[in-house]
């Protein structure tokens, strides 16, 4: 029986590299795997690009209202299919994940989803939440923090400064946004320092305001 996999990990843990590896493994055995990804990820357009710059073309970009089951059944009518690899699976909608379970159960096709567990504010992505609920096999892919502990968080930086609030989705490399994967402890430390610097800025502002009011009296 085919299974639905969810392989999750922080940024830089090698998810895309793994997809490319699995794709080639299928090819070498004369089997057919395809790569799909949600349309929200604009990085590399219709390509998936790993950090070492290896790239493969995406077979389908899935949009919000697309029905993956319908797309795949149409695909199978034309070509064979043994495995579906899903990049950036955190951006899937819940209904997409439900459709992927039908592909597994009704069509007997292995589905391997790769994605982030949580966003930079430590909230689950909708696609990841659905995958945690539905996947048969859940595997963590590891990467390390600067302190050498396992990195499980994605910290967002804008113009080199850490940010802890904002929109859930901001693509790496766009609008001065970058991410660094960290362990929970290092993220907490960074957040504390960030809050302290904001407090300091506010106190300085208050002091300036008070001095101004006093001077105008
Ligand atoms: Zn750390």
Domains of the chain, with CATH numbers? 1-142 (3.40.50.300), 144-217 (3.30.60)
Lowest-confidence region among 4-13, 35-44, 48-57: 35-44
Position 211 pLDDT exceeds 90? no
Catalytic hit among 28, 55, 88, 199 = 88
Query: Catalytic: 93?
Result: no
172 Cα to the center of ligand 1, angstroms = 21
Ligand 1 geometric centre to CA of 153 (Å) = 10
At 153, the pLDDT band (50, 70, 90 cuts) reads very high
- Mapping DSSP onto H, E and C, the string for the chain reads CCCEEEEECCCCCCHHHHHHHHHHHHHHCCCCEEEEEECCCCCCCCEEECCCCCEEECCEEECCCCCHHHHHHHHHHHCCCCEEEECCHHHCCHHHHHHHHHHHHHHCCEEEEEECCECCCCCECHHHHHHHHHCCEEEECCCECCCCCECCEEEEEECCEEECCCCCCCCCCCCCEEEEEECHHHHHHHHHHHHHHHHHHHHHHHHHHHHHHHHHC
Percentage of the chain surpassing pLDDT 90? 72
């Amino acid at each position: 029986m085919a299974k639905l996999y969810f392989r999750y990990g922080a940024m830089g843990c090698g998810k895309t590299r793994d997809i490319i590896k699995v794709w080639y493994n299928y090819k070498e055995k004369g089997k057919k795997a395809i790569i799909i990804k949600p349309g929200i990820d604009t990085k590399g357009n219709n390509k998936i690009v790993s950090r070492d710059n290896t790239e493969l073309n995406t077979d389908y970009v899935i949009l919000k209202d697309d029905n993956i089951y319908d797309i795949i059944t149409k695909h199978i009518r034309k070509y064979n299919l043994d495995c579906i690899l899903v990049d950036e699976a955190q951006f899937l909608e819940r209904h997409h994940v439900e459709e992927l379970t039908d592909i597994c159960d009704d069509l007997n096709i292995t589905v391997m989803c790769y994605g982030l567990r949580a966003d930079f504010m430590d909230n689950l992505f909708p696609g990841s939440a659905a995958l945690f609920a539905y996947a048969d096999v859940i595997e963590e892919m590891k990467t390390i923090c600067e302190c050498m502990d396992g990195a499980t968080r994605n910290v967002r930086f804008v113009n080199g400064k850490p940010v802890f609030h904002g929109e859930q989705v901001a693509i790496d490399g766009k609008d001065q946004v970058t991410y660094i994967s960290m362990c929970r402890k290092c993220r907490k430390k960074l957040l504390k320092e960030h809050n302290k610097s904001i407090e300091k800025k506010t106190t300085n502002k208050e002091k300036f305001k008070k001095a101004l009011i006093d001077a105008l009296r």
